[in-house]
Structure 1
Amino acid sequence: MRRTLVVLLALAAAVTIPASPGHAAPACDQPVPPPICSPDDPDPGPVDAPPRGAFDTLTFVGNGVRVTGWAADGDTTGPVLVHVYVDGAFVSSLSTGTAQRFDGFAPARHGAHSVCVWALNVPRAGADLAPNRQLGCRTYDVPVVSGIQLVYSSGRQIIAFNDNVLGETGFTVRWDYYVLQNIPGTSQQVGWPQSISFDVPAHPGTGPAELAALKVKPSNAYRLTVTAPGFGSASTDHWW
């Protein structure tokens, strides 16, 4: 009887011992980089690392923009392709060079625009493709002509301004002014709007331009306008 009781107690103890928890789902591929896996975990296979980087600077350089930044992809030690979009439209493809940096030109017009830069993913064989990555967006607003002034040099009148475009065929300068005339039968005067225009040669490159005024500023001038035909114009109002 005693022997039978011992056997039953042993069986009961065997039943009440909690079972070992089932093997958890492998997490060898999370996070990235993965932890060390036990021999029992299945190989998760290759993982495609997404690109990373930054869009650092944007500079308008005349009919285009200069973009700089860096981009890298864990699946390659070589260059990474970078695509530039202006107002949502693809305009240029660049490539990283030394130290994973990119520095290049993309065509763009003057005015107000948004520029976005994307780093293209480098695929890893046998892995699900990671997405491309947007490195950022920047905006600029550059007029055709800016900083218009009338300056004097050796007794000559000079039209000075910043030329922000390339490829212009020349500039048209216009003075808006008024002529005072007496109102008959009164001592009052009224100003009648008038204008005169003249053309000046194109300015090479971009940057500060100084062009001789081919016509002397008229009296009572109140506006000076500089136009680059086919590009646009800018003006300044002043009681000269």
Structure 2
Amino acid sequence: MKRLLARTAVVTMAVAFGAALAAPAQASALCDRPIPPPACDPGYEPEPTVRDSAARGSLDGVTYVGNAVRVGGWAYDADSGSSPLLVDIYIDGVFKQTLTANTYRPDVAQVHPSYGAYRGYEATIPAGLGTHQVCAYAISVVPSGVSHPGNPQLGCQSYTARLAAPTNLSMSRNADGVAQFTFVDNSVEETSWRLQVKTQRWENRWDPRLGMYVPHVYYTYETTSLQPHTGTGQRTVTVPGIGSMDCGFTLSAVAGSFQSAPVNTGWC
């Protein structure tokens, strides 16, 4: 009987000892769970995660200046350090030019002191008449090992450009039919000038209802294309074949399908 009790005690101790040895394996499995218990804390801080700093900035202004558009703004990316950021300019969705944001902008430094003052960009970019949209995009600087977040849009602005009409139009002529036109050219985009001559003629016609001759007026229109000029300023153009007729003249600047507002001399 004593031997039986002794064997039972040995077996019980062995089972308890085996259970104690198995406990660490069970704890290790718990540590693999998404939310491990506090006992699994390794006791040290994990390495910081590298992240991208978003580029910031603005497209402040878009102004048409004759065959070109003037753009300006600012851009900054903390990941670029002291190096200036690059900015791409698009017009109507078409890439036009890459600018460097390194011009002096004290107003930016006043609002964002850590950025510094040399974060501005500006340029004059060839552009056409009509209505167009200009957009600016910052070229993000991305740390190594970080996925590229894309290049953020800094803004878009639209402009509408029209041909500037001539001013101070006057005309003089002599008896042999040569007319001299003088005007101020206010446009740099014209490819030609459209001169319209409106001629007025009078003729007496018999009116059977009145039983007498009655004066009637007739108008004829003739359009002449004049050569463009370089730059702006006062111009003088000689046009033959005008004669001493009663007439009026209208002058417009032309560039492709665009035409300026017409100006006229009145009757001469």
Q: TM-score, normalised by structure 1?
A: 0.68
Q: Does 1:226 align with 2:226?
A: no
Moved more, 195-204 or 154-163: 154-163
Please tell me the root mean square deviation across aligned C-alpha atoms, in Å: 3.2
Aligned length: 196
Whichever of the two has the greater Rg, that structure is 2
Q: Deviations over 1:18-62 (max 9, x none)?
A: xxxx89xxxxxxxxxxxxxxx866444111011111111112233
Unaligned 5+ runs, structure 2: 1-34, 37-42, 104-117, 174-179, 208-213
**Which structure 1 segments of 5+ residues have no match?**
1-21, 24-38
2-structure distance, mates of 1:92, 1:231: 26
Q: Post-superposition shift, 1:222?
A: 5.7
Q: Which residue in 2 is equivalent to 1:45?
A: 49
Residue 88 of structure 1 and its aligned partner are, at CA, apart by: 1.1
Quick check: 1:57 aligned with 2:61?
yes
**1 CA distance for matches of 2:218 and 2:83?**
70
User: Are the aligned partners of 1:179 and 1:194 in contact in 2 as well (CA < 8 Å)?
Assistant: no
Shift of the alpha carbon at 1:75? 0.4
Match of 2:184 in 1: 160
1:195 partnered with 2:222? yes
Aligned to 1:9: none
Give, as a single letter, the amino acid of the residue that structure 2 aligns with 1:226: A
Q: Deviation per CA, 1:113-157, whole angstroms, max 9, x where unpaired?
A: 1111111111111223223111111111112x3132234599974
1:224 is paired with a residue whose SS is strand
Which residue number corresponds to residue 100 of structure 2? 95
Correspondence 1:147 to 2:165: yes
**CA distances 1:174-213 after superposition (whole Å, capped 9, x unpaired):** 1231323336214252432322525345223xxx432113
> Whole-Å Cα distance in 2 between the matches of residues 41 and 131 of structure 1?
31
Contact 1:64 1:105 in 2 (8 A): yes
Q: Which residue of 1 aligns with 2:238?
A: 214
**Larger helix share, 1 or 2:** 2
